[in-house]
Amino acid sequence: MSGRIENPVLPGFHPDPSIVRVGDDYYIATSTFEWFPGVRIHHSRDLVNWRLLGHALTRRSQVELRGIADSAGVWAPSLSYADGMFWLVYTNVRTRVGNFKDVGVFLATAPDILGPWSEPIFIHSIGFDPSLFHDTDGRKWIVNMSWDFRPGRARFAGIVVQKYDHAQRRLVGPMTNILAKPVLTEGPNLYQRGGWYYLMLAEGGTGWNHGISMARSRAITGPYELDPQAAVLTSRDDPSLALQKAGHGEIVETPQGEWFLAHLASRPIGANRRCILGRETCLQRVVWSDDGWLRLARGGHHPRVSVEAPAGLSEMRWPSIPTRDDFCAPELDAHWCALRGPLDESWVSLRERVGWLRLRGRESVHSLFDQSLVARRLTSVRCVAETCVEFSPTHFTQMAGLICWYDTRTHFYLRITHDEKLGRVLGVVLTDDGAYDELAASQLAIGEWPRAFLRATIRGEKLQFSACADGVAWRDVGPVLDATKLSDDYGAGLHFTGAFAGLCAQDLGGTRAAADFDYFSLEPSLV
Please identify every residue annotated as catalytic. 16, 186
Q: With 0-12 CB in 10 A as exposed, 13-18 as middle and 19+ as buried, what is 172? A: exposed
How many other C-beta atoms lie within 10 A of the C-beta of residue 459?
15
**Residue-wise over 156-167: b if at least 16 C-beta within 10 A, else e?**
bbbbbbbbbeee
How many other C-beta atoms lie within 10 A of the C-beta of residue 134?
17
How many other C-beta atoms lie within 10 A of the C-beta of residue 255?
11
Peptide bond into 37 cis (omega under 30): yes
How many other C-beta atoms lie within 10 A of the C-beta of residue 257?
8
Residues 6+ apart with CB under 8 A from 14: 8, 28, 30, 40, 42, 264, 278, 279, 280, 281, 377
Q: How far is CA 405 from CA 194, 268, 276, in A?
A: 47, 18, 10
Give, in degrees to the nearest 5, the angle at Cα 15 between 13 and 18.
135
Partnered with residue 307 across adjacent β-strands are 5
Entry field: residues in the chain: 527
End-to-end CA distance of the chain: 34
The SS3 assignment for 284 reads strand
- Spatial contact of 33 and 406, defined as CB atoms under 8 Å apart: no
CA-CA-CA-CA torsion sign (244, 250, 253, 258): positive
CA atoms within 13 Å, Cβ hemisphere of 153 = 12
- Spatial contact of 283 and 261, defined as CB atoms under 8 Å apart: yes
Q: With 0-12 CB in 10 A as exposed, 13-18 as middle and 19+ as buried, what is 398? A: buried
- Spatial contact of 525 and 383, defined as CB atoms under 8 Å apart: yes
Give, in degrees to the nearest 5, the angle at Cα 487 between 344 and 155.
95
Q: How far apart are CA 83 and CA 268, in angstroms?
A: 42
3-state SS string over 349-415? ECCCCCCCEEEECECCCCCCCCCEEEEEECCCCEEEEEEEEECCCCCCCEEEEEEEEEECCEEEEEE
